[in-house]
Amino acid sequence: MSELKNKGLFFDIEKNGVYYKKLAGNVLMVVRRIGWSEWWKTSKHVGYTTNFLWKSYSSIVIPKEVDGMRVVSVEGNEYGYNSAEIKNVSFPDTINTFGNNLEYISNVVFPSCIMDSHYELVMNCNNLTLPNSVQTIDSIRDCNNIVLPNSMQTIGEIINCNNITIPDTVQTIGDIFHCDNLAIPNTIRAIGKIQGCSMLTIPKAVVSIKGISKWYPSTLKMESPNPPVLMNCDPHVNTVIFVPQGSLDTYKNDPMWGKIKTIREDPTLGQDATSTSAKQTSTVKKPSEDDMKALDRLIDAALEDFVVTDEERATLLKKVDSIGLSRDEFKLILDSRIQRRMKEKPEEKIEEKKKGFFARLFGK
């Protein structure tokens, strides 16, 4: 199969082994998808366009211009249908986007003019510092030695990764599966499910964890003497958690944390030391203990008869915004409290409420 048969469809120019596609505005994109395979075109799946030939680039320099046209972007891979790799490639400062995915990229310095703010997937990447424009990543998978920028705010999940540096601008992380050498900053307040992680330290600031999985054991070190809200816990028999000295009974008596068979005290946990980086760079407002207690009272009042009305929810959200708690974290906390409340009296008939909430709250 001659790759040149796909000229005009997948690429327009080939220079020194690099393929380019013309875009609107007479600019160029470095392409990684250069054609269909012969097998795919001759099979019963004729007409589908998902089995592509992919072009890898290694140890080359991408120029700023080709045939008088600026090179401004790099094509993103399509998840599940690629094996292309970009390794030790030097990109010009004219590049402003790598598409919606970063896959199979290693040992690359991103140009400072990258404008990407969101990546759906960062997968099979190694030894990278991501662009300063990136704010959210839906999924980080199978990566090693990745430094996330200070612009980061939300991470959807981290799976099968080693040595991911997370800045203290991030407040929420989704699921964490099979990760090593993962340092969670003290600004994180909500975490998804945890599975198969070794010696993962959970900082004091974390107020909620979605669950601990039974499928693979984890070893967790809890910085807080007060257990965070744990929404679901069906732990592996070999899961172990270490807690600050003097808090063993608190964790064992918690209805969720108490399901973990091995809980041990560690006198090195729960110290008041705060990381220097967090002190110097964090600008995120954190709710005080009094703020959280006031929010708890509002939630208790709203859940007294098991239903949170739209009016009550608006009041709760107003409080959440005023104390600097993210709405994602509040949703996790509220969902957990509703589940617990329903278990207390599941047989009680739930009726629509009118003004009882505000009467109880304000004494009117």
Burial of 3 (0-12, 13-18, 19+ CB in 10 A): middle
**Are 224 and 320 members of one domain?**
no
**Are 133 and 213 members of one domain?**
yes
The predicted pLDDT at position 320 comes to 80
* Mean pLDDT computed over 211-236: 91
Report the alpha-carbon distance of residue 29 to residue 33 in Å, rounded: 11
Residue 85 lies in a domain: no
Can you name the residues that pair with 7 across neighbouring β-strands?
11
Confidence band, pLDDT 50/70/90 cuts, at residue 201: very high
* Mean pLDDT computed over 163-170: 93
Residue where a domain terminates, one of 284, 316, 331 = 284
Which segment of 35-39, 126-130, 264-268, 287-291 scores lowest on mean pLDDT? 35-39
**Are 169 and 179 members of one domain?**
yes
Q: Considering the entire predicted model, what is its pTM?
A: 0.69
Which segment of 167-171, 314-318, 342-346 scores lowest on mean pLDDT? 342-346
Report the alpha-carbon distance of residue 121 to residue 234 in Å, rounded: 28
- Which one is predicted more confidently, 7 or 190? 190
Q: How far is CA 256 from CA 71, 196, 231, 261, in A?
A: 55, 18, 7, 11
**Are 278 and 142 members of one domain?**
yes
Are the C-beta atoms of residues 136 and 117 closer than 8 Å to each other? yes
Residue 150 lies in a domain: yes
Residue 83 lies in a domain: no
Confidence band, pLDDT 50/70/90 cuts, at residue 176: very high
* Mean pLDDT computed over 270-286: 48
Residue where a domain terminates, one of 228, 256, 284 = 284
Residue 184 lies in a domain: yes
Give residue 340's domain range.
Answer: 285-362
**Are 129 and 276 members of one domain?**
yes
**Are 272 and 142 members of one domain?**
yes
181 Ramachandran zone, left/alpha/beta (phi>0; psi -120 to 50): left
**Are 315 and 166 members of one domain?**
no
Are the C-beta atoms of residues 55 and 34 closer than 8 Å to each other? yes
**Are 151 and 216 members of one domain?**
yes
**Are 291 and 279 members of one domain?**
no
Mean pLDDT value across the chain:
81
Are the C-beta atoms of residues 12 and 21 closer than 8 Å to each other? yes
Burial of 48 (0-12, 13-18, 19+ CB in 10 A): exposed
Number of H helices, E strands in the chain: 7, 25
48, pLDDT greater than 60:
no
Q: Could you give the count of Cα atoms lying within 13 Å of 147 in the half-sphere of its Cβ?
A: 11
Are the C-beta atoms of residues 223 and 245 closer than 8 Å to each other? no
Q: How far is CA 184 from CA 2, 172, 194, 214, 275, in A?
A: 49, 10, 13, 22, 11
* Mean pLDDT computed over 11-15: 90
Burial of 195 (0-12, 13-18, 19+ CB in 10 A): buried
Are the C-beta atoms of residues 300 and 276 closer than 8 Å to each other? no
Are the C-beta atoms of residues 135 and 151 closer than 8 Å to each other? yes
81, pLDDT greater than 60:
no
Strand 240-244 relative to strand 262-266: parallel, antiparallel, unpaired? parallel
Are the C-beta atoms of residues 285 and 324 closer than 8 Å to each other? yes
* Mean pLDDT computed over 340-346: 63
Are the C-beta atoms of residues 250 and 269 closer than 8 Å to each other? no
53 residue type, one letter: L
Residue 262 lies in a domain: yes
* Mean pLDDT computed over 265-283: 58
**Are 261 and 323 members of one domain?**
no
Residue 266 lies in a domain: yes
Residue 104 lies in a domain: no
Confidence band, pLDDT 50/70/90 cuts, at residue 88: very high
Which segment of 145-149, 255-259, 292-296 scores lowest on mean pLDDT? 292-296
- Which one is predicted more confidently, 20 or 300? 20
Strand 33-36 relative to strand 262-266: parallel, antiparallel, unpaired? unpaired
**Are 231 and 351 members of one domain?**
no
Report the alpha-carbon distance of residue 342 to residue 321 in Å, rounded: 26
Q: How many domains does the chain have?
A: 2
- Which one is predicted more confidently, 81 or 245? 245
**Are 200 and 300 members of one domain?**
no
221, pLDDT greater than 60:
yes
Percent of the chain predicted with pLDDT > 70: 80
* Mean pLDDT computed over 176-187: 91
Which segment of 92-96, 122-126, 270-274, 338-342 scores lowest on mean pLDDT? 270-274
Residue where a domain terminates, one of 284, 313, 330 = 284
Which residues are CB-contacts of 143 (< 8 A; sequence separation ≥ 6)? 122, 123, 124, 125, 126, 161, 162, 164
The predicted pLDDT at position 345 comes to 56
Phi, psi of 193 (to 5 degrees): -80, 150
Q: Could you give the count of Cα atoms lying within 13 Å of 331 in the half-sphere of its Cβ?
A: 6
The predicted pLDDT at position 38 comes to 52
174, pLDDT greater than 90:
yes
Which residues are CB-contacts of 256 (< 8 A; sequence separation ≥ 6)? 227, 230, 231, 232, 233
Q: How far is CA 63 from CA 15, 29, 58, 103, 359, in A?
A: 10, 12, 14, 22, 70
Residue 311 lies in a domain: yes
Maximum average pLDDT range among 35-39, 53-57, 246-250, 360-364:
246-250
The predicted pLDDT at position 343 comes to 63
Confidence band, pLDDT 50/70/90 cuts, at residue 283: very low
Maximum C-alpha span of the chain: 81
Tokens coding 248: 């063993």
